[in-house]
């Protein structure tokens, strides 16, 4: 299939691009080398972007700090109006941006478009939110006193995002931060920098037309040493919101914690679906297969473990072998295909290593796992199914690849929940059952220990309206919908005395 590259022109992705974007302007020192972005789809070079230096980073923080002084004074509903216009621009550019995400990251076009839709949805959500940054009022214990709380913006928010959702996770963070009155500096993954640049090209006119201060939304592409680490250690950045591996998150928590800054962490998952003896398998099949192979197994919500009751195990195994056998693997821009490539050859190697480890540890690869020939990029693999035990070291880890571990359980739903919870991560989880008792047991305090727990739908593909994130090694952060906005603001408690006396709280007497 020949792919039309029109979308690159529409997004202004051409030439060697600047590392720093502050809204309407781009800059950067151009002396620190370049990142080359190769497509995992066909192995071709899509474009180059200069790497920022530490001094570029310092300059962008200064610009954003100045922007904050102005931006926090704009009434929140007016900030929301600008986010509304950004949402409309994203609607206009949904197709080219979806294509670029698909081409640069390798996810299917449907999922690339879905990712841009998440951006549009969060923009719509943020517009309403701009009028709902509610605080509580309290009754004071003292006469003629009033107490209430209000939410103020924090300042410069650092955003670190991963290659697998190269644009949506930024929007969850930056658009919510924007209506909250914060400014943000985004460090996108160096594996998908062009999708990030494209976002800035798309929103540029809106920022210019509304005279949004330069640096309110900023983006900087650079190495960990020049940009990432300085951001973590930077007192000028009160909040760092980071999405990625548990290893990276531990580093963020350590460095940001040391200066008593805030971090919002959304890290690895080891997500499971439980199929009880009461599961509707017709319903479960697409949920499990999409969960396992969507984005080629590279979502943090990907279904990695399937915990199946022994009475239906053979039936489920047969069903999966048939479904995986029918998967069409190939260019993600060709909508006929279900599965595209992994992000790069390192990811392919990691998948192979995990499959070797699974075999060594007593697992049995019953389907797939091989690297597919005939693709220039060398990044296409056949999704694998492995019969395994939950206690195997490799099953306990998150391998960012399409490997579905098939685990058998006997006994009650409580036994299955125990297996589901018996990992270090706690992002997403699901149960398929037609039994109300089993479903409620799964959702109870003694049920799933994850941040997301679903009934009769899969582990991936969360809507933006809920709070997104998980427990344990997933990091505990919540972003996107619900009241996640509170993470981007500081709460202030105000007590106002309108009496002519100064009574002290707790009835303390202090006469002078």
Smallest gap from Cβ 114 to ligand UN1, in A, equals 8
From residue 164 to residue 183, the character string flagging contacts with ligand UN1 as x (rule: CB under 6 A) and all else as - is xx---x--------------
Nearest to 348 by CA among 386, 300, 402: 402
Which residue stretch of 201-209, 270-278, 295-303, 399-407 sits at the interface with ligand UN1 (rule: CB under 6 A)? 295-303
**Shorter beta-carbon distance to ligand UN1: residue 49 or 168:** 168
Separation of CA 224 from chain center: 19
Measured CA to CA, the distance from residue 214 to residue 212 in angstroms comes to 6
Smallest gap from Cβ 172 to ligand UN1, in A, equals 9
Q: What is the CA radius of gyration of the chain?
A: 24
**Shorter beta-carbon distance to ligand UN1: residue 160 or 417:** 160
Cβ-contact 469, 478 below 8 angstroms: yes
Half-sphere exposure of 95 (CA within 13 A, CB side): 7
Q: Where are the alpha helices (DSSP H) in 106-154?
A: 109-129
Q: Where are the alpha helices (DSSP H) in 210-303?
A: 229-232, 246-258, 281-293
The only residue of 39, 173, 243, 390 in contact with ligand UN1, by rule CB under 6 A: 243
Q: Provide CB contacts within 8 A for 254, sequence distance 6+.
A: none
Task: Say whether residue 300 binds ligand UN1 (CB under 6 A).
Answer: yes
Measured CA to CA, the distance from residue 317 to residue 408 in angstroms comes to 10
**Shorter beta-carbon distance to ligand UN1: residue 266 or 449:** 266
Question: Which residues are designated catalytic?
Answer: 266, 300
Which residue stretch of 299-307, 318-326, 401-409, 418-426 sits at the interface with ligand UN1 (rule: CB under 6 A)? 299-307
* Helix H or strand E segment including 440: helix 436-443
From residue 451 to residue 470, the character string flagging contacts with ligand UN1 as x (rule: CB under 6 A) and all else as - is ---------xxx--------
Range 104-123, binding ligand UN1 (CB under 6 A): 118
Q: Burial letters for 213-228: b for 16+ Cβ neighbours within 10 Å, e otherwise?
A: bbbbbbbbbbbeebbb
CA torsion 60→62→64→65, rounded to 10°? 160
Task: Say whether residue 303 binds ligand UN1 (CB under 6 A).
Answer: no
The only residue of 64, 301, 420, 433 in contact with ligand UN1, by rule CB under 6 A: 301
Which residue stretch of 161-169, 211-219, 327-335, 350-358 sits at the interface with ligand UN1 (rule: CB under 6 A)? 161-169
**Shorter beta-carbon distance to ligand UN1: residue 181 or 244:** 244
Smallest gap from Cβ 141 to ligand UN1, in A, equals 45
Half-sphere exposure of 54 (CA within 13 A, CB side): 7
Smallest gap from Cβ 264 to ligand UN1, in A, equals 13
Q: Interface residues with ligand UN1 (CB under 6 A)?
A: 118, 164-165, 169, 243, 299-301, 460-462
């Amino acid at each position: 299939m020949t792919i039309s590259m029109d979308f690159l022109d529409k997004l202004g992705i051409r030439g060697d691009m600047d590392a720093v974007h502050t809204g309407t302007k781009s800059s950067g020192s151009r002396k620190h080398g370049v990142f080359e972005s190769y497509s995992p789809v066909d192995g071709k070079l899509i474009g180059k972007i200069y790497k920022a230096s530490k001094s570029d980073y310092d300059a962008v923080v200064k610009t954003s700090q100045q922007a904050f002084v102005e931006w926090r004074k704009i009434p929140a509903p007016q900030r929301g109006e600008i986010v509304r216009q950004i949402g409309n621009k994203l609607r206009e550019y949904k197709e080219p941006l979806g294509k670029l995400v698909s081409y640069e990251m390798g996810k299917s076009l449907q999922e690339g478009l879905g990712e841009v839709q998440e951006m549009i949805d969060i923009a719509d959500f943020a517009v309403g939110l701009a009028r709902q940054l509610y605080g509580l009022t309290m009754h004071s214990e003292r006469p003629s006193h009033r107490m209430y709380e209000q939410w103020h913006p924090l300042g410069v928010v650092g955003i670190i995002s991963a290659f697998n959702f190269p644009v949506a996770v930024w929007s969850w963070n930056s658009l919510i931060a924007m209506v909250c009155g914060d400014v943000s500096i985004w460090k996108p993954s160096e594996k998908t920098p062009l999708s990030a640049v494209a976002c800035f090209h798309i929103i540029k006119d809106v920022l210019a037309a509304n005279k949004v201060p330069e640096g309110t939304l900023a983006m900087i592409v650079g190495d960990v040493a020049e940009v990432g680490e300085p951001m973590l250690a930077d007192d000028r950045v009160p909040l760092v919101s980071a999405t990625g591996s548990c290893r990276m998150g531990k580093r963020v928590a350590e460095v940001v914690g040391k200066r008593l800054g805030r971090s919002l962490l959304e890290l690895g998952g080891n997500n499971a679906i439980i199929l009880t003896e009461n599961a509707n398998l017709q319903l479960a099949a697409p949920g499990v297969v999409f969960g396992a192979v969507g984005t080629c197994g590279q979502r943090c919500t990907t279904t990695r473990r399937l915990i199946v009751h022994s009475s239906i195990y053979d039936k489920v195994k047969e069903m999966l072998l048939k479904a995986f056998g029918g998967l069409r693997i190939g260019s993600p821009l060709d909508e006929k295909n279900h599965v595209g490539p992994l992000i790069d050859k390192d990811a392919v190697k990691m998948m192979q290593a995990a499959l070797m480890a699974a075999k060594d540890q007593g697992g049995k690869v019953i389907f797939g796992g091989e690297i597919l020939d005939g693709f220039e990029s060398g990044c296409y693999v056949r999704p694998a199914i492995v019969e395994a035990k939950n206690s195997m070291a490799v099953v306990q880890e998150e391998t960012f690849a399409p490997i579905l571990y098939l685990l058998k359980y006997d006994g009650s739903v409580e036994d299955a929940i125990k297996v589901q919870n018996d990992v270090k991560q706690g992002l997403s989880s699901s149960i398929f059952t037609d039994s109300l008792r089993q479903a409620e047991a799964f959702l109870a305090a003694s049920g799933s220990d994850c941040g997301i727990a679903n009934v009769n739908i899969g582990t991936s593909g969360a809507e933006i309206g809920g709070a997104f994130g998980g427990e344990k090694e997933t990091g505990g952060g919540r972003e996107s919908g619900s009241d996640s906005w509170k993470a981007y603001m500081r709460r202030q408690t105000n007590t106002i005395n309108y009496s002519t006396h100064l009574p002290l709280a707790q009835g303390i007497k202090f006469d002078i």
